[in-house]
Structure 1
């Protein structure tokens, strides 16, 4: 299953994630990402937790678009609506 953040025009089309360095793989420093896609089919297990591949546009600290970026993001760092929901499968945007 995958989730495209813009598939439902009646809800918020994009999500802005502000991630600390230890909440994403692989890179250095904080990451701001405007989420376009979350893949939940094959999570990576690291540090005993699931991590999901997230694709989006990297945003600079001053708010400018830096370009496309993919990262593995710690599941608990994804906001409600972008992370898998144990009871109901994947939760759509809230």
Structure 2
């Protein structure tokens, strides 16, 4: 799956309650949504995403894989 038609380099920010596991907001550029294996947790649908984490100062932290609440993800399309 690929992200919708938003410009390359879009920075997504997820509140602490909208991703697992971490503390504080998660900022990342999403490269891929692993839509083939959604998870059910607390009555919500969650997806694993892959991308690059960015600090609140805009510096690249590095590659990141996270589980994000589906309702907070951008629209995805098959690529």
2:25 equivalent among 24, 30, 39: 30
Please identify runs of 4+ aligned residues in structure 1 that moved more than 6 A.
Answer: none
**For residues 42 and 11 of structure 1, do their structure 2 counterparts lie closer, same or farther at Cα, with a shift above 3 Å needed?**
same
- Give the length in aligned residue pairs: 78
Q: Which has the higher contact order (CA 8 A, sep 6+)?
A: 2
The equivalent residue for 1:73 is 68
Q: For residues 60 and 25 of structure 2, what CA distance do their matches in structure 1 show? A: 15
1:15-74 per-residue CA deviation (whole Å, 9 max, x = no partner) reads 321000000011111100100110111111011011000010000001110000110000
SS at match of 1:22: helix
**For residues 11 and 30 of structure 1, do their structure 2 counterparts lie closer, same or farther at Cα, with a shift above 3 Å needed?**
closer
**For residues 74 and 65 of structure 1, do their structure 2 counterparts lie closer, same or farther at Cα, with a shift above 3 Å needed?**
same
Q: CA RMSD in A?
A: 2.1
Deviation at 1:13, TM superposition (A): 2.9
TM-score normalised by the chain length of structure 1:
0.73
Q: For residues 45 and 10 of structure 2, what CA distance do their matches in structure 1 show? A: 20
1:45 equivalent among 40, 45, 55: 40
